[in-house]
Every structure is written in structure tokens, then in C-alpha cells.
Structure 1
Amino acid sequence: MSRADDRFEIQDVLSRYARAVDRLDYDAIAQCYFEDAVDVHGAYTGDAAGLVEDIRRRHQTIDSSQHFVTNVLVDFEGTDAARVESYCLCFLRQRAADDASEQDCAIIRCRYVDRFERREGRWGIAGRVVVFDESRTVPVVDLLDPSWVSSRRDESDPVYA
């Protein structure tokens, strides 16, 4: 494998993580990590299994989630390790209160400072620190036509069809 192939596989893990969180695909979140990885993620610090449970709890009231992962820099350390920094922009829209048209949307700017490793031929997250730059909440009113195909936070989303 070339370094370009390695870089692509690492970036693919980052993209799969974003999709997994946005679709609440808990198994896919866990697959991005090695079991012994430690994630420092805001108020949560612990292993991947605990992170999945933390996301499950925190996202109960979020009806729409989008994570955009960009500016991925990969610094290889030997054959099977890399330091990876990537920027993340998150939009987390809270479920509307009964009969309310306005919803709160959290917009979070952060960076993933990751240690990736290749084990048994697979790149995965061996350690992560989420470095936060800003979090703000803005009111939104969803004006999308209800007849349009809308995203879902489960396996009924069109990506799984």
C-alpha cells in the first residue's frame, strides 16, 4: 500500500464516523475506534463503548445532526501510526417543543486531534481529543417542504436503502 492509500483509508474512517453519528448508527461509530482507544470528548473521557453510550444519551433530543470533517492533516509516524488533525463543524438541531415552530440549533466548531493506528491491516482511531473552539445556539425555523425526502437518524435514512 502507498501512503496515498493509507491517507485515503484514514480520511474514510473520519467520514464514516461523521455519518455514523449523524445517522445514530452506534455499531458504525464503534467500528471507527479500536476497543482500547481513549476519547476525550467534552464532558466524556473513556473508551469507544462508553462514547457510544454517551452519544446515545446526549443525542436523544437532537432531531437533526450534521458533522462536516475538513482540513485533514496526516503526519505518519512509521508504517502503522499517524497523528491526524481535522477540523469539524457540527450542526445539532434540538427537537421542537410541542406546537413550537422554532428550534434551537447548536453550531460547534472543533478539531479532532487523533492518533490513528493500523492493526491487522485496518486503520482506526487509537486515541482522540476533541479540541473545542466555539459553541453557540441559534434559533431556526425549518422551512423545508414536507414532501421532500428528509434525513432520518436511523436505518430508514435513504443512505441505507
Structure 2
Amino acid sequence: MSHSPETTDRPWKRVVVCGGGVIGVCTAYFLSKKGASVTVVEQSSIACAASGKAGGFLALDWCDGGPLSSLARTSFNLHRTLADELDGARSYGYRRLEALSVTVTESGKVSSVARKNLPAWVDGPAEEGRTIGTLETTAQVHPQMFTRRLMTEAMEK
């Protein structure tokens, strides 16, 4: 992840990033794209904890109306761009998907009338479902694969 001073118009920067989770690795990736010489310090391995085990869900509009709306929208669009640039579908499981919120009964008994609006693949005691994300507004990545792919890219810069 090093660049010589001649490879950039800006002064050469050496940066140490503490932590090999998704935040640290993304920081290293984007700094290396700007010409910084980045060293990532990680006690164990890249994406070894929460960053490698999270759900990997991405949502464009789930924070709308709140203080994180702008961040969520920017992040979602950045993930879409990265997936195009890095062949995310193949290299880290990026996929657009539909998201469904389902209400489950405690009794486990559900009438056929209550189930009529649910997709056929929903089994179990679900009685109500509503779409909370479309192919345009929700996606998912394999978080460990995503983080490791960005680390590999950062090291090649």
C-alpha cells in the first residue's frame, strides 16, 4: 500500500490505521486510492470480529427522517459504486434484494386468510408481512468477504 512521492500531486503521507475491521479497512482503501502509504495494525486478522460476522444489510431509506439519513443514502450509493468497480457480486456476494417485515404469532396458529398476503416461501406462524425494501433500496454483502476484498485492493494500490 505504498506510493512514492512521484505518484501523486499531493505530499506523500504515511498513515497508520488501528483496527482491521470494516471501518479501518475502508479507511485504508480510500486513503491508498489517494496516494497515502497506509499500514493497518490488527491484533488478530482482517474482519475477525463483528465486521466479519454482521448481517451485511444495506438500506437506502431506512433512516429517512432521522439524523443518519444523509449518511445512509451516501453509504448505500457508495456500496453500489464499489460493487460495480470491484465485481462485488462475484467477489464479496453483493446482491440487491427485497426485504420483508413479518409479524409472527405467539400461539403458532394462523388462519389462511391472514397468510394470503404473504409470499409462498414464508413458513411458520407468520400472519402479516409488508415490504420494507425493494431491489432498488436494499442490498446485502458478505461482510467478511467485503472487508477482505477492500484490504486486498488497498494493498495493491
Q: TM-score normalised to the size of structure 2?
A: 0.25
The structure with higher relative contact order (CA 8 Å, sep 6+) is: 2
TM-score, normalised relative to structure 1: 0.24
Report the structure, 1 or 2, having the larger helix content.
2
The structure that has the greater radius of gyration is: 2
